[in-house]
Amino acid sequence: MRGDLTVRKIQTASGATAIQVVRYESSRCVVVQHIGSAHTADDCEALLAQAHQYAEAHCVQPSLFAQEFAPAPAVDMRQAKLLGVTHQFARYALLACAARCGLGRLHALYQDLAIMRIIEPTSKLRTLALLERYFKVSYAQRTTYRLLPSLLNHQVQIEEAAIMLAQSELNETFNLVLYDVTTLYFESFKEYDFQRLGFSKDNKAQQPQIVIGLITTRSGFPVMHEVFEGNTFEGHTMLQILKRFEQRVGNHCKPVIVADAAMLSKENMQRLNEQGYRFIVGARLANTTQAFIEQIAKALPRTDGASQRFEYTYVKQKVDIVCEFSVARYKKDKREMDKQIVRAQALLARNEPGRRAKFVKKADDKDQFEFDTALRNKSEKLLGIKGYVTNVPPTELSDGQIIAYYHDLWHVEQAFRMTKTDLQTRPIFHRTEEAIRSHVLVCFMALMMGKYLEIKTSMSLRKIRDDLWQVHEAHIRDERTGYVHKLKVGLDLPATAKLIDLLKLENTY
């Protein structure tokens, strides 16, 4: 007897002994759980042990004097059959992560496509096959390709979910955001309406591409992206996506934008200033005037970590340039410069100036080349010095803060590396603009989930994925009773244990 549950044995017509958990209501017996039928004494003992354990677990009021039952095996392995091994926990955990990221209301197909970018990124067609193989989840190929472009209708919802998550769980105020661009190439040599030849960051200059702009928080969590034609100059991408970001978070938010030197252009700085944005971008000191370089060389101490702020007029706009000296950077710059000098001198000695020799220039006689001494002197003055252009006054951000914020750019660069390696966003096989944008949006969703897990667990996405995939469910059928037992293995692995705690996962998935 277990509270209001009772274990009983009855004889069946075939002569076997049926073991059941029952409850009596008004002198009527109600079968709560049929445990199985035994044909031998050993089978009967094993089923009785299962029945009493079930009754103990499901009783209304547990007995104060719970009986210890004989440790009869729940499954006689001599009469058991392994039906298969599954990885359902991986999908269960990542669906919980998708819900935590605000993606749970999207169509299940979209969530599964994003999950598979983490588990095993591949083509859409193979993704459907793997979903069926790994998780017994089926989507018709025709339905998938019909629904994929419709994901774009949810881009605003997805971006708003990313912003809300960053605010609520990552404590972001969006006083500062990071911005960078990358390129994604296609397995083709033919241009289409959207994919164009352009400057490739993947060294695929002969293949058409697209340009991706990405805004992240200081910790690298993605909150917004935009897709541009492959021949778009990256300096022309920032303002469009910033305007959309401002609309999402509210016009009251004018964050400091941190970007690399490629974003530094007359048009960008003018429009950023006009619209009230503040920025920190990498400076191209070698492109400044000789007088300014002399000013830096005289004023900036050559001690490690020394910094100095200078006022500079850049394309008719006054900005500040914060310069910092680093011993490590000096050694690196000096090594590179010495190699270039040796190369230039060797080419001149062989009368082969070459097309890529930095310190070689045309002499007064246009048919002759000579060593560029002025450029060497200019380069020597800038050894070890990095510059940062900003319109934020020192009363708001110190030189050290300007430098520290710029150094945070590695987070957005790491996010791009994750999309290209862990999530394998490229190469891209789609042709139409809608399909391309939808593919990138799926990868953006996967990046949201991946970065969220990395930030909250302090573990790499690769480690998280590997541990998740080591969780197995072995499905074992007891041939005596027909009951299928599910044995779970790997729930105590480091990443898995952290996910169970973070996402409040139940062990009864």
Q: Which residues form the domain of 33?
A: 6-74
- 8-state DSSP, 104: T
Q: Please, which pLDDT band fits residue 334 given cuts at 50, 70 and 90?
A: very high
Under the banding of pLDDT at 50, 70 and 90, the label for residue 96 is very high
- Low-confidence winner among 171-185, 344-358, 396-410 (lowest mean pLDDT): 344-358
Spatial separation of the C-alpha atoms in residues 450 and 183, rounded to whole Å: 20
pLDDT band per the 50, 70, 90 thresholds, residue 267: confident
> Greater confidence, 332 or 205?
332
Strand residue runs (E) in 39-146: 80-86
More confident residue, 361 or 78: 361
Judgement on whether residues 202 and 335 belong to the same structural domain of the protein? no
| Collapsed DSSP state (helix, strand, coil) of residue 280 | strand
Degrees, nearest 5: CA angle 358-363-366: 110
**Residues 439-452 pLDDT 10s:** 999 999 999 999 99
pLDDT tens profile 198-228: 777 777 777 888 888 999 999 999 999 999 8
In a domain, 61, yes or no: yes
Predicted confidence at residue 251, as pLDDT, reads 58
Contact predicate 384/330, CB 8 Å: yes
Give the 3-state secondary structure of residue 453. Answer: helix
Is the pLDDT assigned to residue 187 strictly greater than 60?
A: yes
Has residue 285 been placed in a domain? yes
Give residue 72's pLDDT: 42
Residues 317, 195 share a domain: yes
Alpha-carbon torsion, ordered 252, 407, 118, 234, to 10 deg: 70
- Identify the band that residue 37 occupies on the pLDDT scale cut at 50, 70 and 90: confident
Q: Is 128 helix (H, G, I), strand (E, B) or coil?
A: helix
pLDDT (tens digit per residue) in 398-413? 999 999 999 999 888 8
Q: Which residues pair with 370 in a beta bridge?
A: 361
| Domain-ending residue, one of 19, 45, 74 | 74
Maximum mean pLDDT: which of 252-261, 266-275, 468-477: 468-477
Q: Which is higher by pLDDT, 63 or 155?
A: 155
* Residue at 414 is within a domain: yes
- Please tell me whether residues 239 and 346 are part of one structural domain: no
- Write out pLDDT tens, residues 57-88: 776 555 544 444 444 445 666 778 888 888 99
Average pLDDT in the chain: 85
Mean pLDDT of 111-117: 96
pLDDT of residue 129: 95
Please indicate whether residue 420 or residue 499 has the higher confidence score (pLDDT).
499
Are both 281 and 179 inside the same structural domain?
Answer: yes
Of 22-26, 27-31, 58-62, 318-322, highest mean pLDDT = 318-322
Task: Say if 258 falls within a structural domain.
Answer: yes
| pLDDT computed for residue 68 by the predictor | 47
Asked if 11 and 40 sit in the same domain, the reply is: yes
pLDDT of residue 221: 95
15 in a structural domain = yes
pLDDT at 76: 66
* Residue range 319-327: mean pLDDT, rounded: 94
What is the average pLDDT across 498-507?
87
Residue 8 CA to residue 22 CA, distance in Å, equals 7
* Same domain (yes/no): 321, 341: no
State the burial class of residue 329 (Cβ atoms within 10 Å of its Cβ: 0-12, 13-18, 19+). Answer: middle
pLDDT of residue 310: 95
The predicted pLDDT at position 2 comes to 42
Which of 429, 463, 487 is where one domain is finished? 429
262 and 346: one domain?
Answer: no
Cβ within 8 Å of residue 245, ≥6 positions away: 177, 215, 223, 224, 255
Query: Does residue 189 lie in a domain region?
Result: yes
CA dist 16 and 10 (Å) reads: 8
87 in a structural domain: no
Give the CATH number of the domain where residue 241 resides. 3.90.350.10
How many domains does the chain divide into? Answer: 3
The pLDDT of residue 311: 93
My answer on whether 198 and 235 are in the same domain is: yes
Same domain, 286 and 390: yes
Buried b (16+ CB within 10 A) or exposed e, 104-117: eebeebbbbbbbbb
Across the range 322-344, mean pLDDT stands at: 94
Q: Are residues 251 and 199 in the same domain?
A: yes
**Amino acid 182: pLDDT:** 87
Domain stop point among 49, 74, 99: 74
**Statement to judge: residues 184 and 321 lie in one domain:** yes
Query: Exposure of 127 by Cβ count < 10 A (0-12 exposed, 13-18 middle, 19+ buried)?
Result: buried
Compute the distance between CA of residue 112 and CA of residue 130 in angstroms, rounded to an integer: 11
499, part of any domain? no
Q: Quick check: pTM over 0.85?
A: no
Tell me: do 276 and 353 sit in the same domain. Answer: no
Give CA–CA dist 424/426, Å, rounded. 5
